Structure 1
Amino acid sequence: MIVRCIQIISPTSGEVVSDHPAMRVGADYPVLEVVTASDRVLFRIPDPADSEPGFFDPPGLWDAAMFTVVSGRLPACWVAGLADGLLTLAPREWQRAGFWEDYFDGVPEAVAEYVRLKADVLAQL
């Protein structure tokens, strides 16, 4: 899925803001994962700097209210997962308990899994 930013909602305050260093109104972004809760939908979007070889800049979770869908094509590697009241659409490997904690802690296996599956998701959009 590819989405276009139509407004920026601060991930820290929840307020609409005029700018953010990782997001630009009018720009298109690939969605790596969709996370839904009873009151909120979030998109995991890679930081543009994340594509630089050897550069670690983790993907962010952004409020879906910031976007409109440009392409609704869903990657074949996405599966639905349900845990702790959250419905997730993402690669199965990212849905295991503790994956994102391992990734953000820099565990080599989790980082390698993210890089591999991110490439797979992006290739299918």
Structure 2
Amino acid sequence: MIVRCTHIISPVTDEVENDHPGIRIGTEHPVLEVLTKPDQVLLRIPDRLDTTEYRDTPSLWDAAMFTVVSDRMPRCWVAELEEGRLTLAPRAWQRPGFWEDYFDEMPAAVEEYDRLKAEILADS
């Protein structure tokens, strides 16, 4: 799935912004994960940092900021419904604590992220 940013909603203030260091208006992004809540849909996309120099920091953004360019769903995505939230993502990323382990730079989580991100990008 690929989306194009049409406007930026601050993840902190929920206000519309003209610029943000993590995303640019008009750019296309692969969607790594879709997370729905009763009142919001969030998309996890990789940041725009040069990942050869920095570790990737995939962030959650309000789906209202994007238009869909390609609705092709990655083959590794599975749906999970838990506590009223629907998630579309690789099964490994849906385990409790995965994202905490990733951001804490646990080697197994970083390796799993890199492997599955590559699968998602290949399917996009």
Normalised to the residue count of structure 1, the TM-score between the two structures is 0.95
Tell me the residue number matched to 1:4: 4
Q: Matches of 1:56 and 1:44 in 2, distance apart?
A: 16
> In 2, distance between residues paired with 1:23 and 1:101?
22
Amino acid corresponding to residue 11 of structure 1 in structure 2: P
Asked if 1:81 corresponds to 2:72, the answer is: no
Give the CA RMSD over aligned residues: 1.1
Query: Which residue matches 1:104?
Result: 103
**Matched-pair identity in %:** 63
1:92 alignment counterpart = 91
Q: Secondary structure at the match of 1:101?
A: helix
Residue number in structure 2 paired with 1:31: 31
**Stretches of structure 2 lacking an aligned partner (at least 5 in a row):** none
Alignment TM-score, normalising by the size of structure 2: 0.96
Runs of 4+ in 1 over 4 A off after TM superposition: none
1:44-99 deviation digits (Å, cap 9, x = unpaired)? 000122x5236213100000000000000000100001123210000000001111
Aligned to 1:17: 17
User: How many residues are paired up?
Assistant: 124
In 2: Cα distance, 1:86 partner to 1:57 partner: 25
User: Residue type matched to 1:23 in 2?
Assistant: I
